[in-house]
Structure 1
Amino acid sequence: MADCMINLVLYFSADVVTITQDFYFDYNEATPFLAGLAVAAAALAGRYGVQAWQAFKARPPKPRVRRFYDGGFQPTMTRREASLILGIRESATADKVKEAHRRVMVANHPDAGGSHYLASKINEAKDVMLGKGKGSGSAF
């Protein structure tokens, strides 16, 4: 049987008074109570989940992160492609072009583990932006 008996004994400081009372705890009676607690906890968790989902959907959208260029290199380099390679505007001044070329070359120089192909494309982009070359095509 699923009964549990607990004896309660009280002690007082001056006189020892013993009061014994038997408590019977029936687990069969606790099952509906525990089931009710479980249902209440599930309802509260569901309510919190719905509130969190509504708050998530109502938040303002984040600005989109600028995407990388999806395509490869064109057969003949244009000013647009050169500006994308250097990370500048097509109308950038010569000083900005030189500064951008230096920054990109430091990150991609072959002596620092970069690619010879990318270094040649970066140099070609600088030449196109400065008007020194017409984008003669790939170096390879």
Structure 2
Amino acid sequence: MVLPIIIGIGVTAFALTARSSIRAWEIYKALSPVTIARLNNIQIKESPKWSGSRSFLSSKLDPVLQKKLCEYRGGFYPTMNESEALLILNISPEEIKLLDEKMLKKKHRRAMIQNHPDKGGSPYLAVKINEARDMLEKSFMLKKN
């Protein structure tokens, strides 16, 4: 009676590991060696053999996004602050002036749809998204109706 439960848990663990490994490999294949080095904070000179790599064309990214990728080091602060909340909810500096409850709800919803745990997202990211919304709801930047 216990053996089928153990086998079921083992098969489930193997399936989840395989699925996450396949997803990680697909993402890894899309990155160039220079991008991988940059993500790991490794300073290298651009090599001619990598410059023609077409697996990840950062030149096709939006210039604003390119700038954000170069500026933001990644990770979360120990305690949430307003600037981190704005980054998490993808609220641009131009949108801060127009930030009201309706826009905050729209930005929160979009972020949750992209990162919801039921759709393959991370529970940790979902918590951070909700924390960012709560931070901005209490913020002086939010225009109250």
**TM-score, normalising length: structure 1:** 0.45
Instruction: Flag the structure with higher helix content.
Output: 2
Bigger relative contact order (CA 8 A; separation at least 6): 2
Q: Which has the larger radius of gyration?
A: 1
**TM-score, normalising length: structure 2:** 0.44
